Amino acid sequence: MHIDGYSDSAFAHVLDVFTQLLEEPEQRGAALCVQVAGETVIDVWGGVLDRHAEQLWQPDTLINIFSSGKPVAAVVVLQMVTEGRLQLDAPLAEYWPEFAAHGKQQITLRHVLSHQAALPAVLKPLAADALYDWPLMIKTLENTQPWWTPGQAHGYAPMTYGWLLGELMRRVDGCEPGESIARRISQPLGLPLYVGLNEQQLPLVGDVMRMKGVAMDAASSRLMQAMAREPQGMVTKAFANPPSMMTSTNTAQWRCMHQPAANAHSTASGLAGFYTGLLQGQLLDTEMLGHMLAEHSQGMDLTLHTKTRFGLGCMLEQVDELPGSYALGARSFGHPGAGGTLGCADPEREVSVAFITNSLGSSVLLDPRAQKINAMLKKCL
């Protein structure tokens, strides 16, 4: 098995776990980066990056990190709050008047960031190509009424999160969401972390594919059953309206669009570096980071049909819920991405972790592969 990169000898057991994962039959490729107090102690990668197993994973290989990019978008709008250009508790309609239609007058940025905005899906059935039509998606969101009373419950917004925050970025920062992220986060910190790839970056991207024969956990089973029961219901629409949301991730059109909820692309070092930047105060001041990490919603998630716990734009540790545990510490935070990617941090240990893979599992929250890595990392710290 091809494995390359750097690993501090103090973390040899973590490298062993990573190596064992890559030796599993269905695992094609992955990368892992761990930074402690700003120092990189592990930055390794291995396996293959293409569907034909012809190309080895490289240090600059980019992978779609899916929802692991959601906290990146959150930090951009929280920076705007710090600058006084947005307010957490002002109605979104103050910045986006058309949004107020159909009973959305009181939805705030805080509601969106903590998945309490009651807009996890758009109601109107859309064609597949609507996914790439930003004005159409924004208009459709404007014409969707809340699925429940905003602020009274929470339900994860897989894709609408990106249109909601992205439209705020466009209106307040005056540019595409990926440009805001580049200017405010990736370029200042020198991170290979992107939303909306250019032609030069496209050849660096590895294809993602689902692993075969991977058993679903209880949370995955509940979600699939809910979608099967109500093919036109909220949960199904959240993940499949437009229907191309779950089938387009290896296309150039997907990779080049600016949808910060699901199509960020990064190396492991890029994603870990984002969390190190947060922990070291390079992206948010102490007060705003405290707001981000404060519990805003918890309990049964109306979209995912499992327990979730959110701060502002990040998923918080659930110590007593194995699918929702980072296996690091009680104050851990971050965000999993579809299929197994994970970016997270533990402020108490000053550690940032990023695991990215092109071999997609079936977990709804934390992937067992990433949990195994973090559990061993905790022992080594």
Q: Which amino acid is at 87?
A: Q
Q: What is the pLDDT of residue 106?
A: 97
CA 131: distance to chain centroid?
Answer: 18
Give the residue range(s) of CATH 3.40.710.10 domains in the chain: 3-68+192-380
Mean pLDDT along residues 147-153: 98
**Share of residues in the chain with pLDDT > 90 (%):** 94
Inter-residue contact 115 to 310 (CB < 8 Å)? yes
User: pTM of this prediction?
Assistant: 0.97
Mean pLDDT of the residues in the chain:
96
The whole-number pLDDT of residue 315 equals: 98
pLDDT band for 180, please (50, 70, 90 cuts).
very high
Q: Are 5 and 59 in contact, with CB atoms under 8 Å apart?
A: yes
pLDDT at 347: 98
Q: Which residues contact 193 (CB under 8 A, 6 or more apart)?
A: 69, 72, 181, 185, 186, 264, 265, 266, 267, 270, 271, 273, 274
Average pLDDT over residues 265-280: 98
The pLDDT, as a whole number, for residue 194 is 98
Q: What percent of the chain clears pLDDT 70, i.e. is strictly above it?
A: 100
Give the tens place of pLDDT for each residue, 215-266: 888 888 899 999 999 999 999 999 999 999 989 999 999 999 999 999 999 9
pLDDT at 133: 98
Average pLDDT, integer, range 318-332? 95
pLDDT at 212: 87
- Long-range contacts formed by 130-137: CB under 8 A, 24+ apart: 130/242, 131/242, 131/244, 131/245, 131/248, 131/254, 131/257, 131/259, 132/253, 132/257, 134/163, 134/166, 134/258, 137/163
Look at residues 325, 169, 345 and name the one whose alpha carbon lies nearest to residue 260.
169
Over residues 165-185, mean pLDDT: 98
Say if residue 375's pLDDT is above 80. Answer: yes
Could you give the CA distance from residue 117 to residue 127 in angstroms, rounded to a whole number? 24
Pick the CATH number of 3-68+192-380 from 3.40.50.620, 3.40.710.10, 3.20.10.10, 3.90.1150.10: 3.40.710.10
Per-residue model confidence (pLDDT) at position 273: 98
